[in-house]
Structure 1
Amino acid sequence: MRLLREIYELLESELRESTVVDLAVSFPYTGVLLDGGRLGVCFTVLEGRGERRDPPPGEARGRRADELARLAFSPTGIESSIGVAALSAAADPREFRRADPLDEVELRPDDRVCILGGFPQPYLDRIGAAVAELWVLERPPKVSRGVLPDWAVEELAPRCTVLFATGSTIPNKTLERALELSSDARERIVVGPSVPMVPGPFQKRGVTVLAGVRFTDPQSAMRVVAEGGGTRDLRPHSEKALIRLRR
């Protein structure tokens, strides 16, 4: 939770001066569009979805962005997703490289890699072929064959040499614990469209690579989100944004 508060504090001035143009709560993503065409998205956390109280449906447009961004601290899944999306919209990275995190990170034959959250199968195949051990952890009920429940992070994160955490670990509040447990890892990468590209708070916690997206066509991307499109559907309207924080 402290991670999100630090991100909010760094963006607070920008958020107070920004206005919400549109909000889309869908699955797998929630999107917040701010004035100036700035879009942020976040994986939609469904736990506690019946408890959403803010913003009331139909009343997000025209509100100050900081009002939505503070929802990132909410224990309710959808509210938290709205808040993180608002933070990402305000972050709007300017200094980054258009690079794939797997091309940035050197994987070694003796590496033990822990992945938190859903990864595309081609990425899993590429990583698995390059390292000694690969552990994929997801939150139940998503667990399937070859995938472990996310509570296994307590046992596996301290043993890994490389940690990949998807952006979904930010709204569901599991990222900070994973970073604490993996303090001995050589590389710790936070990746995905849900990542607010604000380097300082992540670097402070030992993250080595921040890998998110920047939207090149925010309006089209927002339509994709509203219509239930996933990461692949967002690709024509975005570009990869990578920041190397430490080596």
Structure 2
Amino acid sequence: MKVHPREIYNLLLESSQTTALVEEVIIGLTWTFCRANGIGLCMSPGQATRTLPWSGTLVNQAIADLAPWLYSWDSYQATIAMAAINSVINSNSPLIDKAQPLTPKNSPNLAVFEHFLPLIRGKQVVVIGRYPGLSQYEQDTEISVIERQPSDRDFPDPACEYLLPEADWVFLTATSIVNKTFPRLVELSQNAKLVLMGPTVPWLAELADMGIDYLAGVAVTNAEALRQTIAEGGGTRIFETGVQYRVLELV
């Protein structure tokens, strides 16, 4: 790690400088969609609200005005900012073309775990977040799941201080950037192979300097189907209609 992971917030703002205006924002049940230069995604906040004061005002605002919301502790503001930033970064990043497209045999939303399974068997593996269907891979390897709202199979947030330093592999959701847990989780995972994953991933090579070994983000394969799926409340369904996981090792 050459750069403190807390610098990711400055990196994202510097990497998304543009004069582009927001064309559309959709806050779906699971994903938030922003269209500007391109399409950017971010996982939506888990708790709904009726009182967003800026609803109906985002279209035609400058990305440069919304991007600083990433520093906000308001989860909706930070989510909008991340989706807007990704609409700039991920529409121009050459890394997406370099990354390996994943064509899983099983569930498309679990393609990353299927891809890495030969490497993680017999290893201490920690996954941040309970991914739907992940239990099928817990039978093949020793996986510990840290979850903000844990079930009886999961560990609560504070377990990260104990589990991550001992892990061989860590799969870190890019939503951690938005909820501000990214810097500490990356610090704790420096002894592990660290995979930053999910549709929220910004495709930036500079993340290697912060300790990220692999990016496992998505490429948009059908923009209109993606938009419709998110607008209709889709969660894991987007991997069947509008995006495809890709993996790139950062060197």
Q: Which TM-score band (shorter chain)?
A: 0.7 to 0.9
Match of 2:201 in 1: 195
1:224–1:234 CA contact under 8 A, matched in 2: no
Residue type matched to 2:203 in 1? M
TM-score (norm 2): 0.84
Aligned-pair CA distance for 1:91? 1.4
1:195–1:211 CA contact under 8 A, matched in 2: yes
Structure 2 residue ranges without an equivalent (≥5):
1-5, 103-110
Match of 1:166 in 2: 173
1:81–1:171 CA contact under 8 A, matched in 2: yes
Question: Could you list the per-position Cα deviations for residues 160-189 of structure 1 after superposition, in whole angstroms to 9, with x for gaps in the alignment?
Answer: 11000112212111122111011111x100
Equivalent position SS for 2:83: helix
2:69–2:80 CA contact under 8 A, matched in 1: yes
Equivalent position SS for 1:170: helix
2:164–2:188 CA contact under 8 A, matched in 1: yes
Cα 1:227–1:48 change in 2 (3 A) is: closer
Cα 1:48–1:171 change in 2 (3 A) is: farther
RMSD: 2.2
Distance across 2 between alignment mates of 1:188 and 1:215:
24
Aligned-pair CA distance for 1:157? 0.7
Q: Does 1:243 align with 2:245?
A: no
Residue type matched to 1:111 in 2? K
Cα 1:183–1:224 change in 2 (3 A) is: same
Counterpart selection for 1:113 from 120, 125, 128: 125
2:229–2:241 CA contact under 8 A, matched in 1: no
Question: Could you list the per-position Cα deviations for residues 99-137 of structure 1 after superposition, in whole angstroms to 9, with x for gaps in the alignment?
Answer: 35342575344411111013232x4422x2443x32101
Counterpart selection for 1:77 from 75, 78, 83: 75
Q: Does 1:138 align with 2:147?
A: yes
Distance across 1 between alignment mates of 2:49 and 2:185:
24
2:200–2:217 CA contact under 8 A, matched in 1: yes
2:146–2:159 CA contact under 8 A, matched in 1: yes
Residue type matched to 1:243 in 2? L
TM-score (norm 1): 0.85
Aligned-pair CA distance for 1:148? 1.3
Distance across 2 between alignment mates of 1:235 and 1:68:
30
Give the alignment of 1:1-247 within 5 angstroms. Answer: 1-12=6-17, 16-35=18-37, 38-46=38-46, 52-53=52-53, 56-92=54-90, 93-94=93-94, 95=97, 96-99=99-102, 100-102=111-113, 103-104=115-116, 106-121=118-133, 123-126=134-137, 128-131=138-141, 133-140=142-149, 143-185=150-192, 187-200=193-206, 202-246=207-251
Question: Could you list the per-position Cα deviations for residues 14-47 of structure 1 after superposition, in whole angstroms to 9, with x for gaps in the alignment?
Answer: xx22121101112211111114xx1111111246
Number of aligned residue pairs: 232
1:48–1:78 CA contact under 8 A, matched in 2: no
